[in-house]
């Protein structure tokens, strides 16, 4: 923790960055996002096992970007988010610097190349519990899987905390908010909830970085991250592409090859 505070203080004092986005003390043992703009406040930064939220969510927010160059405290999935956002042209190298926390060590990663190298050595961001659940879902028949999600998603209250917490849900105007035409029903009910979550999972297929932040944000305990991780996993198996592996990635779901083995492409 001291190494992180010292590094953030140095970067802010030297003017290398204008804001350090990290974790601070929240209610009880919880941690909350902290935006440090003064070197003397770097001592408020915390790193411990409770710091799990993916802070890359703030890298695309206008009100944060106008502060200047950002240093972001990055767990492995945050590093992947930075690369995916770069690949999607949502962030430029000169706008961000990662303070990577890997195995208790703090590393300053100032280029996308350095982040790519670090990400390449990180095996899998998924927790063992999530991996087991993905394996369990994969082993289900389609009707069983549909029944599983129908049971879970009927509880959704459409608060959109999952969308707000996700670094890859950065559209200024989400399809969900469009009401002319009304693509997704505003009210919370079984069919409308399913439509929202299928739409979100399709938009995150191959782009989700498996941070699990959306699932942790859900106030009614729906493991909604498993839906997007499952979609990401499918793209990985079928196209060999991992979300957030490279800043120059050609996104599998938005490119095609004329000689694709599937008939529909011709």
- Helices 128-139, 225-239: crossing angle, 10 deg rounding: 70
Of positions 85, 115, 166, 249, contacts ligand SF4 by CB under 6 A: 166
The yes or no reply on residue 162 touching ligand SF4 (CB under 6 A) is: yes
Query: Reduced to 3 DSSP states, what percent helix, strand and coil does the chain have, rounded to the nearest 5?
Result: 45, 10, 40
Torsions phi, psi for 108 (to 5 deg): -85, 120
DSSP string, 114-159: HHHHHHHT----S-HHHHHHHHHHHHS-HHHHHHHHHHHHTT----
State how far the Cα of 30 lies from the Cα of 152, in Å rounded to an integer.
26
As measured in angstroms, the least distance from the Cβ of 157 to ligand SF4 is 4
Q: State which residue, 69 or 131, has the beta carbon closest to ligand SF4.
A: 131
The yes or no reply on residue 217 touching ligand SF4 (CB under 6 A) is: yes
* Inter-residue contact 52 to 30 (CB < 8 Å): no
Q: State which residue, 22 or 76, has the beta carbon closest to ligand SF4.
A: 76
* Inter-residue contact 119 to 80 (CB < 8 Å): yes
Judged by CB under 6 A, the stretch of 1-9, 34-42, 128-136, 216-224 that binds ligand SF4 is 216-224
As measured in angstroms, the least distance from the Cβ of 120 to ligand SF4 is 19
Of positions 213, 233, 241, 247, contacts ligand SF4 by CB under 6 A: 213
Structure tokens, 72 = 């972001």
The yes or no reply on residue 203 touching ligand SF4 (CB under 6 A) is: no
In this structure, what is the dihedral angle of CA atoms 63, 51, 36, 91, given to the nearest 10 degrees?
Answer: -40
Judged by CB under 6 A, the stretch of 1-9, 17-25, 98-106, 154-162 that binds ligand SF4 is 154-162
State how far the Cα of 73 lies from the Cα of 207, in Å rounded to an integer.
21
Q: Which residue has the tokens 């706008």?
A: 95
As measured in angstroms, the least distance from the Cβ of 44 to ligand SF4 is 25
The yes or no reply on residue 209 touching ligand SF4 (CB under 6 A) is: yes
The yes or no reply on residue 82 touching ligand SF4 (CB under 6 A) is: no
The yes or no reply on residue 242 touching ligand SF4 (CB under 6 A) is: no
Judged by CB under 6 A, the stretch of 44-52, 109-117, 133-141, 153-161 that binds ligand SF4 is 153-161
Q: Which residues bind ligand SF4 (CB under 6 A)?
A: 54, 156-162, 165-168, 204, 208-214, 217-220, 222, 224-225, 228-229
């Amino acid at each position: 923790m001291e190494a992180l505070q010292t590094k953030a203080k140095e970067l802010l004092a030297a003017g290398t960055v204008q804001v350090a986005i990290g974790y601070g003390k929240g209610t009880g043992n919880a941690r909350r996002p902290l935006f440090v703009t003064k070197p003397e406040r770097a001592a408020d930064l915390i790193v411990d096992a409770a710091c799990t939220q993916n802070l890359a969510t703030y890298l695309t927010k206008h009100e944060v970007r106008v502060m200047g160059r950002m240093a972001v405290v990055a767990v492995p999935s945050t590093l992947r988010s930075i690369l995916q956002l770069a690949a999607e042209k949502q962030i430029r190298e000169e706008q961000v610097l990662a303070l990577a926390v890997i195995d208790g060590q703090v590393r300053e990663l100032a280029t996308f190349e350095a982040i790519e190298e670090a990400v390449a050595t990180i095996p899998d961001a998924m927790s063992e519990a999530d991996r087991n659940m993905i394996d369990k879902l994969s082993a289900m028949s389609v009707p069983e899987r549909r029944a599983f999600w129908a049971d879970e998603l009927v509880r959704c209250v459409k608060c959109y905390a999952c969308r707000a917490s996700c670094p890859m849900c950065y559209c200024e105007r989400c399809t969900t908010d469009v009401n002319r035409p009304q693509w997704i029903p505003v009210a919370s009910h079984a069919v409308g909830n399913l439509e929202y979550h299928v739409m979100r999972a399709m938009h995150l297929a191959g782009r989700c970085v498996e941070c699990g932040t959306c699932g942790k944000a859900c106030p009614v305990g729906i493991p909604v991250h498993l839906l997007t991780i499952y979609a990401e996993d499918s793209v990985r198996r079928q196209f060999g592409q991992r979300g957030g592996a490279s800043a120059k990635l050609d996104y599998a779901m938005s490119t095609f090859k004329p000689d694709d083995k599937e008939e529909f492409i011709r």
